[in-house]
Amino acid sequence: MVQLKILMTTERFPPDVFGGGEYSAYFAAKTIAQNNEVHILTSMDSGKNDNIKFNEFEIPSNMHIHRIIKPSGGMLPEYIQNHEAYYVKSFRAINSFLKTQTGIDLIHSLSMNMVTGSVQACKKQKLPVIATVNDHWATCFFRNHYWDGQVCEVCSSDGLKECIKGNAGSIVSIPYVKQSMKIRKHFLKQCDGLIAISDKVKEILRANDFSQPIKTIPILVDTNLFGYEKPRYTKKVLFIGRIAPGKGVDIALKAFAAANIGKLIIVGTGMDLNKCKKLAHELGIGGKVEFKGNIDYTKIPELIHSSDIILAPFQRVEAFGRILVEANACGRGVITTDVGGGQMLIKDSENGFIFSVKDVKGMGKAIKKILSDKELVRNLGVSGRKRVEDILNPERISRQIESFYNKILDSKS
């Protein structure tokens, strides 16, 4: 029985995928569509992900997809095209859509670039609007809190308010940066409610004076695709993520070198790829490290199953860290750092190990210990799968989201 009619807005939607956010949007929409009528309003497919087929994604009968926002273009600088200009286009598309659809109860923005247009359209149409905050878009212009090769030492809920001062770039860009941040914060604060994907994100929002109702609801993962499998004991360590500042690829290489055991598989690409390949050779582990580049999302489970441990040494305040969930769902433990929102899932020494961002020696010892202990590999994975099933149960997440919808609707009635 259909309970609510929800319009979800997202900049991209599978098979148009840029990163983990698109999969989070898909799983959220699919879950809510089990009991409600859901409409997805998104951009036209960029055509950059032809290797991902849409028939790989189950579309419930109550989920309807509308790809109506035109791609960016024109004479404006690329950043403005992808942000301020996009806000205008998304508002026009959402507003036009709402004029043709009757009975929409609420708008739920699933990506930060859709917040401004969603809020403007909702205010015009007198509808409640909420947003899922899946990164630090509202508190840090650069979003990664990592610049000039150094970990931001003030990367905390209080420090985030100030980090823009040191990262704004040239004198020419500072006025634009400040204005852009002002726009983002203004419209996010106009939302009737916010869903934070981790307690860390909620903490950061509160510290930055967001006063509306905020509910922590973690991201979902497809536990069928990322199914549990017994360890194969391959002595392989796996890193999956962008090879860019903040993701900790260099720390992964140094920790693996310190462990001096097994093989390291690195999946992903990015601006630091050549730098990291050079580092591997400098550390004397070039023959033990395989750089696989980007792979199809559906092939990630097999890579996890073929590994004994997943290494995610985040060097920034990670909003959550999808790979932590995917690894645990597949029955593999993780080694990560103490700056990620995903710590709400990871219990140290139970389904993974947590270290400070620069503790290369500790991570190296953990890698060596895990790869030398088959029982530990198995126990970490069993505990991880159980925590995913307990905490990230789709029915439980669905109830949490629907309860928050009704709370906001009741407050507006």
Does 326 share its domain with 408? no
Phi-psi region at 225: left, alpha or beta (left = phi > 0; alpha = psi -120 to 50): alpha
How many Å apart are CA 407 and CA 215, to the nearest integer?
Answer: 11
What pLDDT, on the 0 to 100 scale, is given for residue 285? 98
Q: Are residues 159 and 288 in the same domain?
A: no
Shared-domain flag, residues 247 and 125? no
For residue 15, whether the previous peptide bond is cis, meaning omega lies within 30 degrees of 0, is yes
Is 282 domain-assigned? yes
| Residue 228 belongs to some domain of the structure | no
Residues 38 and 100 in one domain: yes
Same-domain status, 242 and 174: no
- 150-151 vs 37-43, strand pairing mode: unpaired
Q: Do 63 and 174 reside in the same domain of the chain? A: yes
Q: Which CATH number covers residue 61?
A: 3.40.50.2000
Name the least confident of 166-170, 185-189, 243-247, 371-375: 166-170
Alpha-carbon distance of 188 to 210, in angstroms, equals 8
With respect to residue 255, please indicate whether it lies within any of the assigned structural domains: yes
All residues at 6 or more sequence positions from 80 whose CB lies less than 8 Å from its CB, including other chains: none
How many structural domains comprise the chain?
Answer: 2
Rounded to two decimals, the pTM is 0.87
Same domain, 249 and 125: no
Assess if residue 57 is contained within a domain.
yes
236 phi, psi to nearest 5 deg:
-110, 140
> Given pLDDT bands bounded at 50, 70 and 90, which one contains residue 46?
low
Arithmetic mean of pLDDT over the chain: 87
Task: Note whether 196 and 85 are same-domain residues.
Answer: yes
Query: How would residue 413 be classed by pLDDT, with cut points 50, 70 and 90?
Result: confident
Least confident among 73-82, 143-152, 295-304:
143-152
Band of pLDDT at residue 20, cut at 50, 70 and 90: confident
Size (the chain), residues: 413
Residue 226: inside a domain, yes or no? no
Whether residue 254 is found in the same domain as residue 211:
no
Residues 54 and 171 in one domain: yes
Going by pLDDT thresholds of 50, 70 and 90, the confidence category of residue 144 is: very low
- Same domain (yes/no): 139, 246: no
- CA-to-CA separations, 276 to 214, 264, 269, 282, 357, in angstroms, rounded: 39, 13, 10, 10, 18
Q: What is the pLDDT of residues 319-349, one digit of tens each?
A: 888 999 999 999 999 999 988 788 889 999 9
285 close to 364: Cβ distance less than 8 angstroms: no
Structural domain boundaries enclosing 269: 236-391
Same-domain pairing of 241 and 208: no
* Mean pLDDT for the stretch of residues 11-22: 81
Tell whether 229 is covered by a domain. Answer: no
pLDDT 10s digits, 206-259:
877 899 999 999 998 888 889 999 999 999 999 999 998 788 999 999 999 999
Q: Is residue 367 part of a domain?
A: yes
Instruction: Give the Cα separation of 335 and 349 in Å (integer).
Output: 10
